[in-house]
Chain A
Amino acid sequence: MSDYNFAYLDEQTKRMIRRAILKGLAVPGYQVPFASREMPMPYGWGTGGVQVSAATLTPEDRFKVIDQGADDTTNAVSIRKFFERTAGVEVTEETEAATIIQTRHRIPEAPLSEDQILVYQVPIPEPLRFLEPRETETRKMHSLEEYGLMHVKLYEDISQHGAIATAYAYPVKVEGRYVMDPSPIPKFDNPKLADCPAIQLFGAGREQRIYALPPYSDVVSLDFEDHPFEASKADHPCDLCGARDSYLDEVITDDRGGRMFVCSDTDYCRTRQAQGHLGAQLAAKQEGAA
């Protein structure tokens, strides 16, 4: 054990954050202000998510961190190590084995359960911000449910691109009340927000906001009747595990235009490969080696 208080933050701070989380759960989609602390990492590296995780972790938890779906990026590794060291909790890369998953920009492919908490890192929590820069005005718009502006943004998308071009941070309406930014997850993940058995918590450190979705919340992606929401992804199977249902990253493999599509959720891909699923490129490679 280290000389840090459990999970780095002092108990008073964790209580303060827990109160914000409980309030957020009680008013789904509502942005609760909280006194965000300085964390030993820069803003934009997940300080909001880290504070929410710190306030949520117990010594019995098993902790997983993903960054764009991957467990092995710098950001994910350092946050995982941070809590390994300051909280001494067990860590894992397996989605099913984790009790708390902190994530940046993805929802895991494997279905979540009631025993799990998903913690999102949020850069800009206010979905109306790009259209209305005044905080006083956006707060009023939320409190009065004046969300016409949100559709103006989608209208602009269609008028300029022929379709809703917003591909990530796609706005949703929660429980028929608050419009919420789901953090910059791809819109492919939006349907997973809804009716999810796990608790979903969102932390924005720089903007000092926490919001939440209790289990099985009603979450609807905004759209038009004649331009319905579509959860799109690259039209390709994973080149490593052959999955057709997962969100893919496009990876450039050489300077001659070579590329491959791979699951962004590394745990999902690895698990499938272990079960014997083979993608096109991996199969070709194995054949070449044999």
Chain B
Amino acid sequence: MIELDDVSKTFTLHNQGGAVIPVMERAGLRVARGECVALTGKSGAGKSTLMRMIYGNYLAASGRIVVGDVDVAAATPREILDLRRHTLGYVSQFLRVVPRVPTLDVVAEPLLALGHGRAEALERAGTLLTRLNIPERLWQLSPTTFSGGEQQRVNIARGFAHDYPALLLDEPTASLDAMNRETVLCLVEEAKVGGAAIVGIFHDESARARVCDREIDVSGFTPGLT
């Protein structure tokens, strides 16, 4: 479902003398349906960078990044948008939403964008928020006013609103208490059962051991580290 071949990435800092910084070389990765693969490596090794490249958020310098039947490294913006809408979900560490929009709408948005009915979308959003212990009295408030942990859970609910066939999880269990952590891990397991191909970053080793089938150390792709 997710296949990376010989992917590399450099940053060119035009305003700092045109310095070219290679950050990834010959990255390769295969994730099948129903499989969860953990990216490991110490901080700065490029876990998030690789994940962002799969999402199309960072531009690959070379190589292939195939998700489903789209090569993200070569696709047009429109194809990537379509991929993100239907196929590829992403739970980032940051919640980026229009201020003032109620939490329930934030979570339902991916479903609305897919053309689901409003009632259906809100019901699904409500179910997820309930599971993630966001009290109903907060649903009509904007998540921008929430605590870090609450925002994180809203982000997760949003990421799981649609059953994406491919899913990227960036530290989904960080800053969660035991109960919510358990819920998130259940969501990941359910997604796997549902056939999702998942790439995740988990600092939480026991969580990683529980849901991930394999680990890939991205240090192997970091130029100058091997």
Direct contact of A and B (CB under 8 A): no
